[in-house]
């Protein structure tokens, strides 16, 4: 993929956000908050960082992106379409019967989707397995995993984190979307996570933090993670859920609620004015 400038990355992220709104309004269901909040990071990953070739989606040389929080899939689908993995028009089929764009990703349905996900906490285990296989094969590719902060409530996730340290998986980068919300409310109220930095450090991981909407910070932090050779890296990405749509930002009740036609039009107007 050609590397885009920061100005071009911002435009791509804005288009991805517009795609998300259109997809969810048409589907009548889905999860906008996390998807909108991660659009900037996905734009950087797919148009600046990842080694991938859309017309060769199964190339053994490709980096793998594992989406653990499968309900974020609108941002993955929109980004893949914008990158050229499948036609943009197919985004209109989100969550429809027989659509390749299921409500949670299915890796045998769509090019570019590396894992099936839905049950939270399992994606990091899949990523650890892929990273370990890559180490055994002495492969050059890297494994990127996207997790949410709230899914750190799952016990299985911590078993995977411990395993990654045991095998010193320096080909694994976990990006945690720290948006501080989940479907029932704020993470601090539902199940306080306390310090994820201290927890990951106690499990032997290198911990970095970044502003998930500052492009220079995103690019520099991910590149620093890629160059770290002593073991697995976690990036705590501080994002705004619903980013770009004023009436959705930081509102946990938009975690799993699609906009109606009027709300979608308002959201799209805001996004288009921001370009």
Sign of CA dihedral 9, 15, 18, 20: negative
Task: Give the largest CA-CA distance in the chain.
Answer: 53
In this structure, how many other beta carbons lie within 10 angstroms of the beta carbon of residue 46? 25
In this prediction, residues 75-95 reach a mean pLDDT of 98
The DSSP secondary-structure symbol of 211 reads E
Cα separation, 120 vs 191, in Å, equals: 15
Q: Which of 105, 245, 242 is nearest to 180 (CA)?
A: 242
Q: How many CB atoms lie within 10 A of CB 100?
A: 17
Residue 64 lies in a domain: yes
- The beta-carbon contacts of 86-95 under 8 Å, at least 24 apart in sequence, are 86/110, 86/111, 86/112, 88/19, 91/19, 91/22, 91/23, 92/22, 92/23, 92/26, 94/23, 94/24, 94/26, 94/27, 94/30, 95/27, 95/28, 95/29, 95/30
Are 217 and 210 within 8 A, CB to CB? Answer: yes
| Number of domains forming the structure of the chain | 1
Q: What pLDDT is stored for residue 3 in this prediction?
A: 80
Of 129, 212, 199, whose CA–CA distance to 171 is shortest?
A: 129
pLDDT tens track for 225-250: 999 999 999 999 999 999 999 999 99
- List the CATH number of the domain containing 143: 3.40.50.970
Alpha helices in the chain (DSSP H): 6-27, 32-37, 39-44, 73-83, 123-136, 155-166, 187-190, 196-202, 215-227, 261-274
pLDDT band (50, 70, 90) for residue 118: confident
Measure the CA–CA gap between 38 and 105, rounded to whole angstroms. Answer: 16
Structural domain of 55: 6-274
pLDDT in tens, 122-139: 999 999 999 999 999 999
| 1 occurs within a structural domain | no
Tokens standing for residue 190: 């539902």
Q: Would you place residue 80 in the very low, low, confident or very high pLDDT band (cuts 50, 70, 90)?
A: very high
In a domain, 141, yes or no: yes
Query: What are the residues whose beta carbons fall under 8 Å from the beta carbon of 88, sequence distance 6 or more?
Result: 19, 81, 82
Please write the tens of the pLDDT for every residue from 90-117: 999 999 999 999 999 999 999 999 999 9
Residue 18 lies in a domain: yes
């Amino acid at each position: 993929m050609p590397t885009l400038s920061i100005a071009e990355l911002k435009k791509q992220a804005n288009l991805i956000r517009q795609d998300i709104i259109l997809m969810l309004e048409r589907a009548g269901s889905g999860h906008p908050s996390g998807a909108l909040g991660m659009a900037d990071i996905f734009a950087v990953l797919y148009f600046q960082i990842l080694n991938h070739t859309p017309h060769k989606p199964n190339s053994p040389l490709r980096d793998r992106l594992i989406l653990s929080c499968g309900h974020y899939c609108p941002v993955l689908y929109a980004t893949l379409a914008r990158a050229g993995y499948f036609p943009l028009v197919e985004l209109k089929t989100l969550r429809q019967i027989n659509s390749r764009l299921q409500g949670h990703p299915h890796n045998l349905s769509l090019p570019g989707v590396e894992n099936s996900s839905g049950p939270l906490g399992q994606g990091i285990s899949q990523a650890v397995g892929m990273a370990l296989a890559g180490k055994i094969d002495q492969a050059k590719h890297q494994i990127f995993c996207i997790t949410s902060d709230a899914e750190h409530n799952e016990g299985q996730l911590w078993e995977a984190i411990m395993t990654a340290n045991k095998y010193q998986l320096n080909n694994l980068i976990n990006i945690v979307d720290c948006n501080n919300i989940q479907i029932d409310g704020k993470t601090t109220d539902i199940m306080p996570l306390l310090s994820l930095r201290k927890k990951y450090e106690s499990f032997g991981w290198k911990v970095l933090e970044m502003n998930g909407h500052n492009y220079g910070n995103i690019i520099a932090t991910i590149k620093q993670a890629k160059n770290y050779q002593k073991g697995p890296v976690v990036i705590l990405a501080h994002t705004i859920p619903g980013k770009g749509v004023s009436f959705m930002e930081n509102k946990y009740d938009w975690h799993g609620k699609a906009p109606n036609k009027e709300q979608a039009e308002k959201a799209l107007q805001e996004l288009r004015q921001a370009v």
